[in-house]
Chain A
């Protein structure tokens, strides 16, 4: 069973740039959620995709956007990067929408300078 994989593992960007983060979900999982984790904080929900449609969004501005592909992999795009966007971005997959446990990848560490 292949777990959740994320790429890249680390990324440094300049304020104002755009970034794309990628996630491959665990085999058999059709739901992908993205979380932002600032240093010393718990993960904060960004949005969720279920069968290629956005299925819920947290308190993040529209410059955070995403996609889910037919193979259930996903992308997180962030435009006009700000210094406060520096964080660990976590992708989690699950099966369906029944509050089954989320399986997280190891994240992408984004640093905005």
Chain B
């Protein structure tokens, strides 16, 4: 059973067109939710950790929020350099993460 489901799988945005990515999870007793960014041919790069419902974190044009069942990654006025795959993950043990399949974002100039 999938613990993490991300939608949409792929998204094409015009530069400046804000949007949101969704990550829903089914684990009980959440011990954190992680967002990573992955560029083609590279390893995932850590963005945020969220621990409790209502928590928000921001980094440049990205803002991550968390509810009891899902997390959103909001991209405000994206630029082409925001093009990447965004991965969501939850812990399923000591430091092992269960990842979703990712949201592939392409920002068109």
On A, residues with C-beta under 8 Å from B are 4, 31, 33, 40-45, 48, 55-56, 58, 90, 92, 94, 96-107, 109
Contacts and interface: CB of A to CB of B under 8 A. Distances in A.
A103 B101 contact: no
Interface in B42-60: 42-46, 49
A107 B40 CA distance: 11
Interface of B: 4, 31-32, 34, 36, 41-46, 49, 87, 89, 91-102
B101 A105 contact: no
B41, B42, B92, B95 — which one has the most chain A CB atoms within 10 A of its CB?
B95
Contacts of A33: 95-96
Nearest to A4: B43
B66 to A, nearest CB: 15
Nearest to A97: B94
Given A31-B95, A40-B101, A43-B99, A99 B31 contact: yes
A50 B81 CA distance: 36
A42 B31 contact: no
Contacts of A105: 43
